Amino acid sequence: MASSGDNSVLSDAEWLVMRARGYAKTDPWAAKAWLITARTLFPGSFLIQFESYQIEKAAKNIKDAASHLEDMLKNFQNEASLWNEVQSILGALQKETADSQSSFLTEIFAAIPTHVQCQMLLSVADKIGDVLERCRLLLLAMKKFPNLVVEHGLKLIEMLSIEESRARLSVVNCYRKLFVCDILPLVLQKNRPMTIPTIQLFIWLQRAVEFYISFITQPNTMDTPLSPDMMSPTKALSKKIINIPGLLERESQILDPWGNLFRLLQLVGTHAGWEMEPDVFTKSRDYQWQYLLSLYNRYKTGGITDEKRKQILYTCTILFLQCLYSYVSHVDADNFAGVFSSTGLTAPVVLLEGFRSDNDDTSSQPQVKRLRQDRSQPNIQPSASIHNSSNIIQNFLTAFKCFELLHSSDELRREFITLCQNWQMETWSWMGHFQTDMFLYQGLHQKAVAQIQNFILASKEKMKTRMSLQLSCCFYCLGNFSKACEVVMDTIEFLEMPSEIEEVKDNVVVSGQGRQLLLLQCLDNEILPYCIQLLITCIKEKAFSSLSNDMLLGHLLILLQYDWPKQDELFNDIIKKIRTQGSFTYNLFFHYVYCIDILEEFALLDTQEGGRVNLDIMSVSTKAISQQRTVTRGLNKGVKEDFRATLEKQVQNLGEPIPNVIHRFLKDERDLIIKNL
């Protein structure tokens, strides 16, 4: 057969295959007949079997193609062409988007008996040298055949750990991702036949926490591609795709990292013999905290064993980290919001000390002294512009309580510090934001100052504004008024002044018993009122002290024009003090005071009815003017006429917006203000 013409070089089997191929497109049945004959004559020929498979595959005969593939896997396990085909089929199973060819190959695989499928996966995995490819196939095999987890799961974890260690990559890498997110849950779910040392479980859990935290807190980068649903110009940039080098796009995506971590904690707890409520992490923050606290108290009453302490340690730490992240993503929104948090805010939130209303003060002590003595946990009053403020506050408070619990005993504190060192928590800049707010919440203002000064120089503009506000607030609480005013005036210099004073929805002067903190957004229209109030409060503390200072009273008059007449009570106190003194000298008065009510009150002070107060508030001192005039029976008559004329002119010249007046005052008289404090 094979000896005639150009076919003399072909073997008999090859000649039969050639004849079958000649009919493949024109007469498929004839082609099959030739191959049936060929298989009968040469049952041990891989070439004929493989051609039969190819013809059935081309004809889309899934069942027959699968049958031929099964036969070849039994009888021809060393053929390279066969394993190339098997790899194509397994590659189709792992494709992110299946085309018609991939779908067809997947159907062929599905038509093969399950034990053959398993053999295919394991055999190909064994032949692959690339660790990632082998891991993918073994993972696919373990998902389809759970009984393989016992045999291959721990080996795969060890293989990935060795490869990660060898590669010396950052925490967010392909090997750690497959280990933490894909392999480890499978291994821990197959819990009955496997005996895993408890210490090994905790090492795995630590590596998982480190990975998820590093993954979640990756800062946004301009080269990170937008996810498909974010391509629309109407969408906010609130979700981005994160690609991990070495992985396919779908392998890089972790849709619910916190949920995954909590589920992993539950699995570890099951192996470690912990008592855990299954759905506790789906409930409210308050419920989670109460559950954790009751667990701690119950264990404490019965004696905390090492096993129980580990449960408290890891449960409390992971809850702390989630609350911490949820809170800080609103503090440093540019770094975190947009990956796994959509804050809905346009600026960072900032925690600041509130200013107590004088009407609420039941003590004659200065406000700053009362603040130092009051170490009770304060209330937090949020700005109306922060729509999800209750969640933000709840996350902060829960994180704070968890942090305190983790420091409630020497053993817990020591183990928590060890975890922090293992994770290099000192490199997490966002941890510093929480510590600052925690110190401020506790009233530890000196510690807060030290913390802020460590970070402020390297901060971005928005965060620098936030830190400056907190720094000035802390200096005020420490009684360092000149430093507080210096920092806050530097902050105001970079704020955009409104053309007119907007209606202030949030009052920075708070009421109620005990300390009150404010939660504001770092928006110009929110922090400007706070800055002005801080200046007023600092200057007031000095101005009404035992040493009289007209310069400070004058500064107060200028600042009180902002959001007038909200502080009319303080204005009345100033007028009362001036009347008591019988004189008042402030030659900057007509440079910056334009409020009609204030001008009218000072016009009254100059009259018999107002107390005939000796006012020296002209731009040029009235003492200097009087020395230049002839002293007659109507002493200083010309001076008083000048005063009246200047008052009338000032009322008519009210054209410059008050915020601009105050901004000009703070800029031009900055050194004078600080000097008088």
Place of tokens 């100052």: 449
- Is the Cα torsion angle 299, 304, 308, 310 positive or negative in sign? positive
Q: Where are the domains of the chain?
A: 286-543, 582-676
Bridge partner residues of 585 (DSSP): 616
Closest among 547, 564, 533, 589 to 658, alpha carbons compared: 564
Burial class (CB within 10 angstroms; exposed 0-12, middle 13-18, buried 19+) of 232:
exposed
Task: Determine how many CB atoms are found less than 10 A away from the CB of residue 430.
Answer: 17
State the pLDDT at residue 394: 97
Cα 433 to Cα 431: distance, rounded to the nearest angstrom = 5
Closest among 482, 494, 611 to 538, alpha carbons compared: 482
Closest among 114, 100, 106 to 145, alpha carbons compared: 114
Cα 26 to Cα 22: distance, rounded to the nearest angstrom = 8
3-state SS assignment for residue 482: helix
Q: How many helices (H) and strands (E) does the chain have?
A: 33, 7
Dihedral Cα 307, 289, 299, 419, nearest 10 deg: 30
- Spell out the residues 6+ positions from residue 223 whose beta carbon is closer than 8 angstroms to its own: none
3-state SS assignment for residue 616: strand
Q: Are strands 516-521 and 614-616 parallel, antiparallel or unpaired?
A: unpaired
Closest among 368, 332, 359 to 347, alpha carbons compared: 332
Q: Amino acid identity of 151?
A: E
3-state SS assignment for residue 625: helix
Cα 52 to Cα 39: distance, rounded to the nearest angstrom = 9
589 neighbors 623 (Cβ within 8 angstroms): no
State the DSSP code for 584: E
Q: Amino acid identity of 405?
A: L
φ, ψ of residue 356 to 5 degrees: the values are -80, 140
C-alpha of 173 from chain center:
21
Cα 345 to Cα 529: distance, rounded to the nearest angstrom = 19
Token pair in block for residue 307: 């096993």
559 neighbors 592 (Cβ within 8 angstroms): no
3-state SS assignment for residue 132: helix
194 neighbors 187 (Cβ within 8 angstroms): yes
φ, ψ of residue 638 to 5 degrees: the values are -65, -35
- CA distances, 542 to each of 57, 310, 479 (Å): 92, 53, 10
Give the residues of the chain that fall short of pLDDT 70: 1-8, 12-13, 22-27, 96-98, 191-194, 219-241, 336-343, 357-376, 499-513, 546, 621-639
3-state SS assignment for residue 518: strand
What value, to the nearest 5°, has the Cα angle with vertex 614 and ends 608 and 620?
Answer: 130
- Is the Cα torsion angle 472, 478, 483, 484 positive or negative in sign? positive
C-alpha of 57 from chain center:
52
Token pair in block for residue 52: 């039969």
**Cis check: omega of the bond before 233, within 30 degrees of 0:** no
Cα 176 to Cα 246: distance, rounded to the nearest angstrom = 11
φ, ψ of residue 388 to 5 degrees: the values are -105, 35
State the DSSP code for 517: E
Cα 471 to Cα 485: distance, rounded to the nearest angstrom = 10
Cα 196 to Cα 205: distance, rounded to the nearest angstrom = 13
φ, ψ of residue 189 to 5 degrees: the values are -70, -30
Phi-psi category of 582—alpha, beta or left, where left has phi over 0 and alpha has psi -120 to 50? left
State the pLDDT at residue 10: 73
Closest among 139, 75, 67, 79 to 108, alpha carbons compared: 67
CA atoms lying within 13 Å on the CB side of residue 473: 31
- Spell out the residues 6+ positions from residue 409 whose beta carbon is closer than 8 angstroms to its own: 304
* Angle, helix 28-41 to helix 46-58, in steps of 10 degrees: 160
What value, to the nearest 5°, has the Cα angle with vertex 388 and ends 426 and 220?
Answer: 45
What DSSP string describes 345-390? -SS-EEEEEPEEPGGG--SSS-HHHHHHH--SPPEEEE-TT-TTHH
Q: Which alpha helices (DSSP H) does 246-356 contain, by range?
A: 249-252, 257-272, 285-302, 306-331, 333-336
Place of tokens 């795995």: 204
- Spell out the residues 6+ positions from residue 86 whose beta carbon is closer than 8 angstroms to its own: 73, 120, 123, 124
Cα 480 to Cα 377: distance, rounded to the nearest angstrom = 23
Cα 42 to Cα 46: distance, rounded to the nearest angstrom = 9
